[in-house]
Structure 1
Amino acid sequence: MPHRAPYRVALQALQSDRLRRDYADLAAEPQYRLVGEFFFTELYGPRDFSARDTQARRLHLLVQSFPGVVIRDVEQVLELLDLTNRLDDEVVEQLIALGAPLDFDMAMYERAYRLADNYADRVRQIELVRQSLYNVARLTRNPLMGIALDRTKGLADMLGMSDIHRFLRVGYKSVLPVRDMPRFIETIAVREMNRLDRIYADQLQQKKGAPSSA
C-alpha cells in the first residue's frame, strides 16, 4: 500500500496551482494580491499544516484577547479545517485505489474527486470558506484587531500556538488592502460551485432523473 503523505503533498500542490490559474485575474489586481496569496498558500498550499490545525483546537485560549471575535468564529474555522482535511484524505484514498502515479494530472484528480462522492460536503466546504472570509473582512474593520494580534504573539508562543497565530496574523494583514471584499468572496463561491457542479454533472443529472420514492 503506497504511503499517503506523498499523495497528500502532491494533492495540495495540484490544488494550489489550480487555484492560482483559476483566480489569476483576481490576484492580478493590487487590492487582491495579498489575500490571493494567502488563499493559495496558507489555505491550500503544499505544506504540512498539522501543527497549525492542532493548535487551532485551542483557539479559545486566545479569543478573549481579540476584539470582536466570538466562539462561533472559532468553531467555523475548526469545522473548515477538519472538513478540508477529511475531504483531501478521501481524494487521496481514491487516488491510491486507482493506482494513480504521484505526478497525477488534473483528469485523474477530478476522477478521484468525483469517486469520493461527497457533493454535499463540498458544498458545505465552499460555504464555510465564504463565511470565514466574510468574518475576516468584518474583523479587519476593527482597528484594535491588528494591535491585539501584535500584542498576543508572545502569549501564543508561550502557549505553543505560534503556527495558528501566524496564520491569523497573515490572514488579517492580507485583507487590509482590499477595498471590495464581497466581490472577491462571491467570485470564489460562484466559480467553485460551478466547478463542483461540472465535476459531478453525471451524478447530479442521474439524481434529477431518478423517480421519486414518495
Structure 2
Amino acid sequence: MSTLRQYRLALQIFQSNRLRRDYHDLAEIPVYEPLGEFFFNDIYGPRDFSQRDQEGRRLQHFIGWLPGVQLRDLEEVLELLDLTNQLDEDLARRMWQANVGTDFDEMTYEHFYRIADKYDERLRQLTLVRTTLYNVFRLSRSHILGLALRRLHVVACLVGIGQIHSFLQRGYEALQNVSDIEHFAETIYRRELDRLNRIYQR
C-alpha cells in the first residue's frame, strides 16, 4: 500500500502537469516562459518544500535586508505557501485513506477536491496567487532589491535561510523581462475561478 508521502508526491506531479497543460499558451509567450517555470516548479512543483517554508517564517527577522520589501508582502507569500500545503495535505490524505491509487485520473482528483468542501479556502488561495503576483512584480522593478538578493546569498545560507532566499531570487529573476503582469495574473485567476466554480457547480 502506498504511503501518504507517496500520495503527496503523486498529487504534486498531477497538479504541476495539469497547470502546464492548462497554461501552455501563457508559457509559450517568451516573456512569460521563465515566470511559468517558476510557477510550475517553485510553487506547485513535485518536491518537498517544508525546509523552504520553515525558513520563510524565520525570514521576517531579516526583512530589513531586502530594500523595499514590507512585512505584509512576506506575510502574503507565506500565507499562500502555508495554505497550499494545507490543501494539498488534506486532499492527499483523503485519497490515501480511500486507497484510490497514486495513478488517479482527473475525474478522481476532482471528486475528492469537491467532497473536501474547501471552496472558501480555495478562493482565498486564488486571491493570494493574484495579489502575490502583482506584489512580486512590483518588487521586481527594484534594481536595488535585485542587487541585495545577489549579494546576500552566502550570508542567507550561513544564517539558515538559504532555500527561501533562493526561492525569492528565482522569483525576482523570472520577472525581469516581464513589462506587464496583468495578462498573466488575470488569466490564471479567471481560469482557476471558472474551474473552481465548475467543480463545485457554482
Q: TM-score range by the shorter chain?
A: over 0.9
Query: Take 2:185 and 2:143, find their aligned partners in 1: how far apart are those partners?
Result: 22
Kept in 2, the 8 Å contact 1:140–1:175? The answer is: yes
Q: Does 1:143 align with 2:132?
A: no
Query: Take 2:133 and 2:167, find their aligned partners in 1: how far apart are those partners?
Result: 13
Report 1:125-164 matches (<5 A): 125-164=125-164
Kept in 1, the 8 Å contact 2:13–2:45? The answer is: yes
Q: Does 1:170 align with 2:187?
A: no
Aligned position for 2:122: 122
Give a deviation string over 1:81-108, Cα, whole Å, max 9, x none: 1111110011112212332111111111
Kept in 2, the 8 Å contact 1:94–1:115? The answer is: no
What secondary structure is seen at the aligned counterpart in 1 of 2:65?
A: coil
Aligned position for 2:54: 54
Query: Take 2:74 and 2:179, find their aligned partners in 1: how far apart are those partners?
Result: 25
After TM superposition, the score normalised by the length of structure 1 is: 0.92
Aligned position for 1:208: none
Q: Tell me, which stretches of 5 or more residues in structure 1 are unaligned? A: 205-214
After TM superposition, the score normalised by the length of structure 2 is: 0.97
- For the pair shown, the structure with the greater C-alpha radius of gyration is 1
Report 1:1-214 matches (<5 A): 2-201=2-201, 204=202
Give a deviation string over 1:117-138, Cα, whole Å, max 9, x none: 0000000000011111111100
Aligned position for 1:207: none
Kept in 1, the 8 Å contact 2:2–2:101? The answer is: no
RMSD over aligned Cα, in angstroms? 1.1
What secondary structure is seen at the aligned counterpart in 2 of 1:64?
A: helix
| Number of residue-to-residue matches in the alignment | 202
Which runs of structure 1 show a deviation greater than 6 angstroms over 4 or more consecutive aligned residues?
none
Give a deviation string over 1:174-209, Cα, whole Å, max 9, x none: 0111122111001000001001001110xx4xxxxx
Which letter does structure 1 place at the counterpart of 2:119? Answer: Y
Query: Take 1:92 and 1:84, find their aligned partners in 2: how far apart are those partners?
Result: 12
Following superposition, the deviation at residue 2 of structure 1 comes to: 4.8
Q: Tell me, which stretches of 5 or more residues in structure 2 are unaligned? A: none
Following superposition, the deviation at residue 62 of structure 1 comes to: 2.6
Kept in 2, the 8 Å contact 1:51–1:163? The answer is: yes
